[in-house]
Amino acid sequence: MQETQKTLLKILLIFWLGYSGSVTASDEDMNLRLRACAGCHEQSNTANFDKNYAPSINGKPVEYLYQQLLNFQEGRRLNTVMNQMLAYLSPEYLHEIASYYAQQDPSSSAPEIKQQSDDQAARGRFLVQQGETGQPACATCHGGDLRGNDIAIPGLRGLSASYITAQLGAWQTSTRHARTPDCMAEVAKSLSGADIDAVAHWIATASDALLTAEAPLDPLPIECGAVQ
Amino acid sequence: MIATANTAKPLSLWRGLAALAATLFLTTVLSACGQATPPNNNSPLHIATKNKIERGQYLAKAGNCATCHTRVGQAEFSGGRSIPTPFGEVISSNITSDTTTGLGNWSDDDFWQALHHGKSRNGRSLYPAFPYPSYSLITRDDSDALFAYLQTIPAVEHTPPAHQLRFPYSSQLALNIWRALYFEPQLYIADESQSDTWNRGAYLVKGLGHCSACHTPRGILGNSDSARSLAGADIEALGWHAPAIATGELSTGQQEELVKLLKAGINKRDVMSGPMAEVVAHSLQHLKNSDLSAMVEYLSTLPAKSHPSTTVVLKTQKQDQEPFPLGATLYEEHCSDCHGKNGLGEPYRFPALAGNRAVMAASANNAIRSVMLGGYGASTADRPRPFGMPAFAHLFSDQEAAAVINYIRNAWGNQAPAVRTNDVRQR
């Protein structure tokens, strides 16, 4: 090996080591930078975490989180706090924030206490696991275990019934958007109010034993702009 | 150490190497292209045009044109953003080079008529939400450069929706009466008794920068109150307060810190938030340090004017009594980790609250909005990864928010009028 090549490799190695050596420090640094997010989203922060108000975002797919941050920044999702929070951050930084939360352990929060009649629970389970004709079951994209996939489909476990209801409602009334074709808007608009209630409560309250191991379909049953 | 690196790291290394290789390759290709450039691209005319467009691009940053003329998520300069005013909503126009819906068919004379005279190509008066009372001051040369740059913006066919103004504000007659009362086209006149730098600063602040659009109080008809120029004003439609920027004399050190704040969005003690973070993100961070210094030099020669209501003082408290015990407790629990027990914050991370003019402003709007809604500063070239302020709207009652705001406005030597629960509720 030539002397110049060796020198070049040495320099690269030094940079590489320097970079990996700083991982722990940069995680701590990121933690400090993201205190503003932790105020609402961090569940260990029990004083501040409001389960009905802010969803758990730990362990959600990085590209899903990144798309949501862009959606808030560009007005496809409306929430006074989130819209103001992110307004002037660069896409690079938003992606870094998304990666940070994607790497955190997802919550293993206990299901909510059951608040459903048997009929409503049966309807919820049917819509989540079987689906109506022309209306794909939640599990076909989010998986039988409702944990989503690693690329762009979010897990639904750990979300409260009121949060899920609010999101489905926001899609119905077009106050929440995703990139077109907006598959979730289509699905949400095909659900009745009672069905939204049934699905949201079932997802939030079903025990793990009721979930299945079915993998998300590939390709997805309908076209989704966010999953390209 | 390699052993402790997680699996993503080798990828990062390869990505880095690939980027390095790509850069080397591109550099080589580009320099090869440079040698093969046809000679007429180096002609004096071509260079003059290129320089003019580049200057126009810089001036467009200084004038922050893109912010109002772009709707978030849409093509830059294609218009359609709603500018809320006390008289209704003004919708920005498409200023891309599109010939039917943009400025593609305009001449530089048409553009000058808009900028200097506040009249559209068809002769109709423009609403002063387009800040032509400020833009009127800029030179014809700068106007032409701006226009040359805007003509290079790719055409986007988009007709923004109509303005949503209440009658009589929506009528040309009312607008023309307003213009007769409050607007006269005028160029910037240099003050010969001042330095070139001072004049450059004044030209940018009063002209393209249109700082007075937010920082100067307005009369009942939306006219600038020139007697209180840059003395700070509430931006009613946005719910924010634009603090006084007629700063009075500043030391060299203070001037340097202020330049940093304009450039990076943050300095040792302060951070830009709300609409000003947007101005930093889209405009100020792109300006040359020499221009920012000139602006600061000019501002520091304007005598500080206080807002009339700052003279309201709190009822005298007994010396040994904590005036806002609930606020103090909440501050200790939720705020002191970042802003410090002494309110001094952390340089370049969390702003100092002690001695902070925005905290103590007569209008508590900014304090209320920051506490309730939180927010990140702007990502800038100097500070790409800002720290943020959490939102407390879901945690504090209006009464608790008022208590903590009153505490920070009156602790550590701070002094400001008390905020009522109702002030928080209304925001």
Nearest chain B alpha carbon to A71: B73
Task: Using a cut of 0.90, tell me whether the model's pTM lies above it.
Answer: no
Q: Does pLDDT of B21 surpass 60?
A: no
Q: Does pLDDT of B306 surpass 70?
A: no
Contact residues, chain B to chain A, C-beta under 8 Å: 1-2, 4-6, 9, 12-13, 16-17, 72-73, 265, 274, 277-278, 280-281, 333, 337-338, 349, 369, 373-379, 384-395
Q: Which residues of A touch B395 (CB under 8 A)?
A: 39, 47-48, 50
Residues A185-206: pLDDT tens digits? 999 999 999 999 999 999 988 8
> Which tokens in the block code for residue A163?
């949060």
Of the candidate ranges A8-17, B174-183, B344-353, the one whose mean pLDDT is the lowest: A8-17
> Which pLDDT band, with edges at 50, 70 and 90, does B22 fall under?
low
Q: Which residues of B touch A89 (CB under 8 A)?
A: 376, 378-379, 386
Interface test with A, best of B13, B329, B349, B394 (most A CBs within 10 A): B394
Shortest Cα distance, chain B CAs vs residue A130, angstroms: 37
What pLDDT does residue B310 have?
A: 41
The single-letter DSSP state of residue A210 is G
Report CB contact under 8 Å: A12, B13: yes
What pLDDT does residue B313 have?
A: 43
Q: Does pLDDT of A125 surpass 70?
A: yes
ipTM of the complex: 0.82
Shortest Cα distance, chain B CAs vs residue A208, angstroms: 31
> Which pLDDT band, with edges at 50, 70 and 90, does A17 fall under?
very low
Query: Across chain B, what does the average pLDDT equal?
Result: 88
Q: Does pLDDT of B316 surpass 70?
A: no
| Residue contacts between A and B (CB atoms, under 8 Å) | 107
Count Cα atoms within 13 angstroms, Cβ side, for B149.
Answer: 21
> Which pLDDT band, with edges at 50, 70 and 90, does A48 fall under?
very low
What pLDDT does residue B29 have?
A: 46
Report CB contact under 8 Å: B9, A16: yes
What pLDDT does residue A107 have?
A: 62
**Structure-token match 């109010």, residue found:** A193
Q: Which residues of B touch A31 (CB under 8 A)?
A: none
Interface test with B, best of A11, A24, A88 (most B CBs within 10 A): A88
Q: Which residues of B touch A38 (CB under 8 A)?
A: 390
Chain-centroid distance of CA B71 in Å reads 16
Residues B245-258: pLDDT tens digits? 998 899 999 999 99
Shortest Cα distance, chain A CAs vs residue B282, angstroms: 9
> Which pLDDT band, with edges at 50, 70 and 90, does A209 fall under?
confident
Q: Which of A34-48, A63-77, B100-114 has the highest mean pLDDT?
A: B100-114
Shortest Cα distance, chain A CAs vs residue B101, angstroms: 23
Report CB contact under 8 Å: B280, A88: yes
B360 vs B412: CA distance, rounded Å:
12
Interface test with B, best of A74, A84, A95 (most B CBs within 10 A): A84
Bridge partners, A194 (sequence order)? none
